[in-house]
Amino acid sequence: MTLFIQPVQIATDVLNDAQNAVAGWRRVLDVLDLEPDVADPDEAGVALPPGPLSVRFAGVSFRYPGGPIVLADVDLGLAARTKVAVVGETAAARPPSPSCSPG
């Protein structure tokens, strides 16, 4: 009886694995068919100034899911090659105290 059931079970497993593989391949094709959110510029592209670029953050806020806001309405302009550390601590006894320190 085992000699008959084992090949049938193997065939069932192979069929199940094949169906999973086809479903996975369809998902991959669906992702590849998505249109990008941001289009690439044409062949000429966009000319950037030489050297490092500066960055500007305006109205940035952050909170952990389900938690209080730990960073609120930060406006920060950073020159090229500037390092920034965002540090803070949240405790039940006191409100969050984030700080931004360019350096």
**C-beta neighbour count of 29 within 10 angstroms:** 9
Domain positions in the chain: 1-36, 55-102
40-71 pLDDT, tens digit each: 777 877 788 888 888 888 988 888 898 898 88
- Decide if 57 contacts 72 (C-beta within 8 A): no
Higher-pLDDT residue of 77 and 90 is: 77
- Decide if 88 contacts 71 (C-beta within 8 A): yes
Higher-pLDDT residue of 87 and 57 is: 57
What backbone torsions phi and psi does residue 84 show, to the nearest 5 degrees? -130, 135
